Structure 1
Amino acid sequence: MMFNSNHVDIDILSTRAYNLRWATLPKGVIPLTAADPDFPVAPPIQKALKEYIDGGYLSYGPAEGLPQFKDAVARDYKIKNKVAYDSNCILPVDSAAFGIYLCCKALLKPGDEVIIFDPVDFLFKYSAEKVSAKTIAYQTPQKNDAFDFNELSSLINSKTKMICLCNPLNPTGKVFTREELLTLAEVVAKHKDIIVLSDEIWSDIIFNPNTFNAFANIGHVFDQTITVTGYSKSYGLAGLRIGSVLCPNEMIYNQVFESSLHQSTVHGTNVLGQIAATAALNDAQHWLSSFVAHLHKMRDLAVQKLNEMPGVSCKHPEGCYVLFPDITQTAYTATELHENLLEKARVAVVPGLPKWFGSAAEGNIRLSFATSEELLTEALDRIHNFLESHK
């Protein structure tokens, strides 16, 4: 088994895993924080990187990205999602996060309005506001219930230029059904000047019986859809900063490419990230299937344990490897629980604060379960023991 505690090297993680994880926390604290795996990357990725470095040259890559990477992305989306992207309209970027910002920079003007789901990861709001657009919150159901996109349509006006979709939805783990996406597509099709920016970085992390549907393959809105994805969640490549922007046509691609500054070498996407992601897409699919099977088991374990804790209620996420339990029946706010768990239980979690996930996140905490069963069990037992002794 490649996902047990023997495959988690805490000594190495403690020197390399930043962003609220092992390298930034006191020794003995278990981080269930940033959505980043505790496991080494797949052997085919390690092999590809080693072979490239052994070649001895780390030269400039092409401004528009390595052809083999762009081809691998297009092939992967066609096989998994039945979407035929032209590889010439795929731009490598140094993370999905930057891809989101880049699309906002390329397509929005000051005063434009952007509809953003609430709760959702903060990057949509951050990126839109960085280019002086106005964000409009669409309050979404908290319990994986069906979404009412007719309500969303009431938020659209002449200033609306973008709708930001995160599917699966971080932090709740909601996976949108095809029927829900069709309804959204019908709304979008009535407004030809609106772009849907679809963040699909979690699209590989889907738990049966749920299925993922790429928005570009829904209805007749391909030309109004830009897909952003990355390879950190599925393959553990966060440190290589690699993602991609999949554009529907040459016109939009050119706008995004011009905004990227890649052509001037002021900015660019590192070659090693593209080499690693190409190997991941071409040669690490068996590893990925095993990883998702492990995550499914960890999800079920964690949800069961959380629901046994006093004052905690947790739904099964349909995708992603994060949980978003409701803690409103405990004696703590999200910030208080985060602080107490860190100090007294030696477990780090992410509080559901508006700055991270929007106003609807209050009363929740987020936990990542992309670790071994042994570490996850220990962390959840620590949380349980703390809550039992502090009712």
Structure 2
Amino acid sequence: MFDDSTVNVGILKERAYNLRWATVPEGVIPLTAADPDFPSAPQIAEALTKFIKDRYLCYGPPEGLPQFKESVAQFFHNKRNVPAKPEFTFPVDSAAFGIYVICKAFLEKGDEAIIFNPVDFLFKYSIETVGAVAVPYGIPPGQEFVDFWELETLITPKTKMICLCNPLNPTGKVFTPAELKILGEIAIKHNLIILSDEIWSDIVYQPYTYTSIASLDESIRQRTIIVTGYSKSYGLAGLRIGSVVAFNQTHADLIFKASLHQSTVHGANVLGQIAATTALNECGPWLEGFIQHLQQMRDLCVSELNASKGVSCIAPQGCYVAFADITGTGKTSAEIQTYLLETAKVAVVPGLPQWFGTGADGYIRLSFATSQEILSNALNHIKTALNYL
């Protein structure tokens, strides 16, 4: 299911955008955007085909298809030990839009929201787009315990939200229940909203396990809004589908109003909801196989990077990206990105502030959600090029 022959590079060169195969020069291997090279599960294609054959592509309910809402709520019940309710669960046009909608619902101009550093740029972008201020809190790569009580020093009367990315993109850190408990207690103490981005929560490697902060206790849960999506786990990025989960009527109403779903200005497309519902209900074995393959690719990626001159890489606990320290090369992140593109014919993401914050300085990020053949080839090119420096 995830062998070398499964990846169709010809189709990827036509369809895989966002820094990937359709956008790089011929002969370049993209280990860039965190989007799998593998096709989605066959059950998803079958469900979409069956739905489209009827040729009725009507407006869906603004609050989401009932079967989608029920599937998402059941997922959180069964897989995350979170008592989600369908009526407080609804679809959004991608997890990225979900982050923005939550910021729009709970932040006003001049408010402050704490984000991790490094972390995906979408948090800072969303916060600043609604006129608030993103305040970074540094979390270094590795497995060391994060004492979130230190985060309290950043809280001011303007602080309204803490943005939790778990597992953490780009480092792959998976936060423990003890770490999350502290974060939850801080949110309660200071009357803060927790925006919990859980899009990577399926992608966790043995022996680590995932805990949703909303599963810890009711008082923390009532301050939490979960946003997640289905692109990382099931390869559905082009369908633009995510979900937001609230835990009380007040929060649900605020988010729904901010989403503009009550009009036809915005909304989540019906096909995306059909695909995500099928993924959650029928594609568990496919996902298990994908994670097993990813764990092998993670080990290969980390081993080869650490065998490359000037590179140090800690194995991620989750996510399918490797966050490699390249300070030993004597080059900047941008310089290494350019060098690898031109010399190794491999595209990577540089650790620049606009992508991940200042905490990514001296790093590059590589996605390993591809076949062993493609990844081995890319890593060999990288190692050869770096050994010439």
- Mapped contact 1:29–1:346 kept (Cα < 8 A): yes
Tell me which amino acid in the other structure corresponds to 2:11: I
C-alpha displacement at 1:248, in angstroms?
Answer: 1.1
C-alpha displacement at 1:87, in angstroms?
Answer: 0.5
Mapped to 2, the partners of 1:150 and 1:267 lie a distance apart of: 39
Mapped to 2, the partners of 1:45 and 1:386 lie a distance apart of: 40
Match of 2:364 in 1: 365
- Mapped contact 1:141–1:147 kept (Cα < 8 A): no
Mapped to 2, the partners of 1:19 and 1:370 lie a distance apart of: 15
- Mapped contact 1:8–1:39 kept (Cα < 8 A): yes
Match of 1:227 in 2: 226
- Of residues 31-40 and 147-156 in structure 1, the stretch that sits farther from structure 2 once superposed is 147-156
Secondary structure (helix, strand or coil) at the match of 1:295 reads helix
1:50 aligns with 2:53: no
C-alpha displacement at 1:158, in angstroms?
Answer: 1.4
Secondary structure (helix, strand or coil) at the match of 1:264 reads coil
Mind listing any 5+ residue stretches in structure 1 that lack a counterpart?
A: none
C-alpha displacement at 1:141, in angstroms?
Answer: 2.3
Mapped to 2, the partners of 1:363 and 1:72 lie a distance apart of: 41
C-alpha displacement at 1:262, in angstroms?
Answer: 1.0
Mapped to 2, the partners of 1:150 and 1:252 lie a distance apart of: 26
1:132 aligns with 2:99: no
C-alpha displacement at 1:144, in angstroms?
Answer: 2.8
C-alpha displacement at 1:12, in angstroms?
Answer: 0.4
Match of 1:217 in 2: 215
1:216-240 per-position Cα deviation (integer Å, ceiling 9, x unaligned): 1124311100000000000000000
Matches within 5 A, 1:311-330: 311-330=310-329
1:286 aligns with 2:277: no
C-alpha displacement at 1:77, in angstroms?
Answer: 0.8
TM-score between the two structures when normalised by the length of structure 1:
0.98
Secondary structure (helix, strand or coil) at the match of 2:328 reads coil
Secondary structure (helix, strand or coil) at the match of 1:163 reads strand
- Mapped contact 2:111–2:133 kept (Cα < 8 A): yes
Matches within 5 A, 1:102-251: 102-192=101-191, 194-219=192-217, 220-251=219-250
Query: Once the two structures are aligned, what percentage of the paired residues are identical?
Result: 59
Mapped to 2, the partners of 1:139 and 1:25 lie a distance apart of: 32
C-alpha displacement at 1:289, in angstroms?
Answer: 0.3
- Mapped contact 2:141–2:173 kept (Cα < 8 A): no
Mapped to 2, the partners of 1:251 and 1:262 lie a distance apart of: 17
C-alpha displacement at 1:298, in angstroms?
Answer: 0.4
Tell me which amino acid in the other structure corresponds to 1:197: L
Mind listing any 5+ residue stretches in structure 2 that lack a counterpart?
A: none
1:298-329 per-position Cα deviation (integer Å, ceiling 9, x unaligned): 00011111100010000010000000010000
1:309-366 per-position Cα deviation (integer Å, ceiling 9, x unaligned): 0100000100000000100000321101111111111100000001000001000000
Match of 1:299 in 2: 298
Match of 1:334 in 2: 333
Task: Tell me how large the CA RMSD over aligned residues is.
Answer: 0.8
Mapped to 2, the partners of 1:184 and 1:15 lie a distance apart of: 44
C-alpha displacement at 1:142, in angstroms?
Answer: 2.4
Tell me which amino acid in the other structure corresponds to 1:101: Y
Match of 2:95 in 1: 96
- Mapped contact 1:198–1:225 kept (Cα < 8 A): yes
- Of residues 215-224 and 204-213 in structure 1, the stretch that sits farther from structure 2 once superposed is 215-224
Tell me which amino acid in the other structure corresponds to 1:245: V
C-alpha displacement at 1:143, in angstroms?
Answer: 2.3
- Mapped contact 2:141–2:314 kept (Cα < 8 A): no
Secondary structure (helix, strand or coil) at the match of 1:310 reads coil
1:252-287 per-position Cα deviation (integer Å, ceiling 9, x unaligned): 111111111111101111000000000000000000
Tell me which amino acid in the other structure corresponds to 1:114: A
Mapped to 1, the partners of 2:264 and 2:380 lie a distance apart of: 50
Mapped to 2, the partners of 1:150 and 1:264 lie a distance apart of: 42
Mapped to 1, the partners of 2:263 and 2:53 lie a distance apart of: 29
Secondary structure (helix, strand or coil) at the match of 2:51 reads helix
- Of residues 245-254 and 14-23 in structure 1, the stretch that sits farther from structure 2 once superposed is 245-254
